[in-house]
Structure 1
């Protein structure tokens, strides 16, 4: 009898260990793995799946969802089915092109499902926070070092680790909320100083991408952070105020020094002066085309093309297949309508609205700084800013992996988790 008990304990430990390994692999895939190539990233997700047992693969995670989460989940499922099948049956591409276009959304669905399976305990919460912090630190150090070695060129495609400037800024803006949350709640002085360094490096890297979109993202995220702390975590108010002022001063000095010693960074096409001129175009002689970097012209073209196929869109085909005046829509909602029709754009907007309401309601209901709600809120704001100005919908964008997985946290047990509470979360046995 004793041997049976020992064997059972050994098997149980092995199962939990495999599940823990799966959690680490999945977290790696949605943090630093996003800065790598498609192949390397997929290895993390596939390896995480292999760590699951048959019982975990068949787990009915939706049983633990609240009524509101189930309604949101059902609507999300309907949306996923629409954008999966409509481009397949109604797209304008040849059949093989439509079939190939399904691989990316299928990958996203699997990643969203993995998040529901793995995000269920404090172990996951602590590790995704730590991985996000280290990802921001490591990549920012690499990126700033590379910019320095190359003489701070105005180059939007030559960024370290298979990166492009737009991709770098978007991914860092999605991971930054974890660092901000850790900074606000950390009690150790040594760790607080390290987190302050990480935030400054990350913000500096985002600024060096020379995309005004990410300057706006940073402004919105810091403003939202200040507001949330003011309402629910006032003991962190002084810290964030002082730090915000210090961060702005440091980044200003950094940019001023770079612009002084590197003329190419300041004066080249796409450089600092051109970006500042775009921002200051708001005034008496405001030109929407100049301010949006001609995106408004593309939006008008996109709307006219979408009107020709309003119900089902054009599938995963790029704009060049229909018109030589446009590649993609430079707007997530127009891109959704292009890919799967106006109904897809409407469902997409409703889903984002539901997410926003859920986050605000969660924060307001608990009346305190809820980590997942706070992180999702800042990630959501970054996503919305980018979605209004660029394509944040197309399934070809690996960036969507980060945002979709982050948003899915609101459908997991971690949505109600606080580090100082005695939450009864699953231990991974499933």
Structure 2
């Protein structure tokens, strides 16, 4: 985390980096601040192209990742044009995979030039602010909510948890940093608990196991980075239940849902099986090309489906794999899963080759990618593009980034 930063060579590079970190910090607050940060980065990119175009021509992405994302964009544009619904729907739909690709490239461009030190500091500051805001909102101190739905909070806590563990298992020269890093995990776990969503709870547990298996932080890292935060979180969770009795009822509801796995599968999936049944019909009609990148709710209404009991008109299919099959058929599903697996492999190779404590960063990235593959059975990072999607693709960009020529690590 204390990785030295390279000096930015010109104002375009400084503007690109500032816009990137601004969007990274502000992403959970909504798309407008993220787009503003991206706008600054794009202005910097244009300036760099005019003044030092050779810097943009240097590769910053893993070659295989570059090929996969080219194929993903070409196929997405093709299928959406094939099922043309108007330029508004085309632009809104195709912008989803384009944003993912831009997030990957922008992250890779910045960290390949200056390393990951500042990235981790900005990530930490942003996540702690969000955790504190969510907790204050839960105890009615704040009158506004960062996330409009508990599922969104759950996914945010899932995406940030391995990074929080990355901070906590490291060794620091200051006792204050030891305390702060452990408290970061506590705040992350509380935010995960407050989502009252059994899916993120399950994935969060899987993430912790994955991180420990991959990183192997030792007894000291395990004690400071996980066991103490878990104990503190359990105590605070009990206190929450006493202060807000409704939280205990919500907790019981989620436990009841988890225990219904072997019985009522519809209850276990919160009636999502009914959405998947309708979506399966759409997929069967166009299994190769799909229906193009269009808002799922719009497609549902265009298909003259009736409202689903207990659900109404679904906004999303709540499953990334089914979503990809709907939008781009089996080719798009294979492309995106291949992209994910390539990112996981790159993160693993960086972890294996890293000799310093930055290996925990790559362990966190790997754990996040694998956990999102599991989470995607009940949700989608593409559906969460407004407040969370960029955060995941930024982590992916760290895995896919090439080191600057002459340097040994990204």
| Shorter-chain TM-score tier | 0.7 to 0.9
Tell me which of 149, 152, 157 is aligned to 2:140: 149
Q: List per-residue Cα deviations over 1:156-209 (Å, max 9, x = no partner).
A: xx8623543222332333233333222222323210111111110121012101
Pairwise CA distance, 1:364? 4.0
User: Mapping of 1:238-257 within 5 angstroms?
Assistant: 238-257=220-239
Match of 1:353 in 2: 341
Match of 2:4 in 1: none
Pairwise CA distance, 1:60? 5.0
Pairwise CA distance, 1:26? 0.3
Aligned residues: 388
User: Mapping of 1:18-417 within 5 angstroms?
Assistant: 18-30=12-24, 32-52=25-45, 53-54=48-49, 55=51, 59-60=55-56, 63=59, 69-91=62-84, 93-122=85-114, 124-149=115-140, 160-161=145-146, 163-188=148-173, 189-230=175-216, 233-234=217-218, 237-267=219-249, 271-282=250-261, 286-315=263-292, 316-318=294-296, 319-322=300-303, 323-324=305-306, 325=308, 327=314, 328-364=316-352, 370-394=359-383, 397-414=386-403
How far, CA to CA, are the matches of 1:18 and 1:164 in structure 2? 38
Conserved 8 A contact 1:24-1:127 = no
Pairwise CA distance, 1:28? 2.2
CA RMSD of aligned residues (A): 3.0
| Cα distance change on mapping 1:14 and 1:256 into 2, 3 Å | closer
Pairwise CA distance, 1:278? 0.9
Pairwise CA distance, 1:224? 1.5
| Cα distance change on mapping 1:107 and 1:349 into 2, 3 Å | closer
Q: Flag the structure with larger Rg.
A: 1
Pairwise CA distance, 1:82? 1.0
Structure 2: stretches of 5+ with no match in the other structure: 1-6
Pairwise CA distance, 1:210? 0.6
| TM-score relative to the length of structure 2 | 0.84
Moved over 6 A (4+): none
Conserved 8 A contact 1:372-1:414 = no
Structure 1: stretches of 5+ with no match in the other structure: 1-12, 152-157, 417-421
